[in-house]
Amino acid sequence: MSTELLTELVEAGVHFGHQSRKWNPRIRNYILGEKNNVHLINLEKTIEQIDEAGNYLADLVSKNKKILFVGCKRQAQDAVREAAEATGQFYVNHRWLGGTMTNLETVRKSVNRMEYLENLSKSPDFKKMSKKEIASLNRLRNKLNLRLNGIRTMEKAPDALVIVDSAREYNAVNEAIKLRIPIVAMVDTNADPEQVQYPIVSNDDAIRSIRVVLSKLIEPVIAAKP
C-alpha cells in the first residue's frame, strides 16, 4: 500500500465517519476506532476498495461501456461533474429525477424540450412572444439544464453507476438495483455497504474527501479509454 496515498487520504479527511450513534452496524468491519464520538474509517480497506472499483470501471470503459456519475449534495456537485467530463461519461449532480433510468423515455422527452428551448431564439415563434413569456421559458430552460445537461446524450441505461453518498441518493440506488446495474459508491458509516457491489467506505460529506476519492477512481478509467 502506498504511504503517499494513505497520507493524501488522511489529509483530505477521508477517514472521518459520522457520529458513532448514527452508525449502520453493517459497517462494523470497516471501522478502525472512535474519537470524540466520531467513527474512524480503516483507510487500508478503503484503498483496497478504491483499487478494486477503479479496475472494474476501467475494464468497463475499455469495452466502450458507459458510466453515470451521481452526486446531488452541494459538496459533491462540482467534483461529480468534473469527474464525468474528464472521463467522457454521464452525470447527474443537481437532482435525481424519478425514473431517470427506469423511465428513460419520459426523461428523453424532457431533454428534447430543453433542447427546443435552447434553440428558441432561432424559432419563428420567438418574435411573437412577449418578454414575460420569454423570461418564463428561459427559467424553465435553466431548470432543465441543471438537471439534464449531464445526461442529454444518454439514450439507454448506463452500464454502471458511481454514486457519492449511497444513503442520500437512495432513489438512484433503488433504480439501479431494479435494473441490475452495478453500483460503485462512496459509503459513509451511516450507510449499508451491502446495498452496492463496490462500496468505498469513506467520508462522503467533505469536499476534499469526495474530490480525492473520485480522482483516484477515475485515474485508471482515463488510462483505459480507447
**How does pLDDT run across 100-135, given as a tens digit for each residue?**
999 999 999 999 999 989 888 887 777 788 888 889
The structural domain count of the chain equals 2
> What predicted TM-score, i.e. pTM, was given to this entire model?
0.93
**How does pLDDT run across 150-170, given as a tens digit for each residue?**
999 999 999 999 999 999 999
**How does pLDDT run across 55-98, given as a tens digit for each residue?**
999 999 999 999 999 999 999 999 999 999 999 999 999 999 99
Do 15 and 87 lie in a common domain? yes
Position 189 scores a pLDDT of 97
Q: In which domain, by residue range, is 37 found?
A: 3-101+157-224
Do 95 and 193 lie in a common domain? yes
Do 30 and 84 lie in a common domain? yes
DSSP sequence for the chain: --HHHHHHHHHTTTTEEEEGGG--GGGGGGEEEEETTEEEE-HHHHHHHHHHHHHHHHHHHHTT--EEEE--STTTHHHHHHHHHHHT-EEE-S---TTTTTTHHHHHHHHHHHHHHHTGGGSTTGGGS-HHHHHHHHHHHHHHHHHHGGGTT--S--SEEEEE-TTTTHHHHHHHHHHT--EEEEE-TTS-GGGSSEEEES--SSHHHHHHHHHHHHHHHHHH--
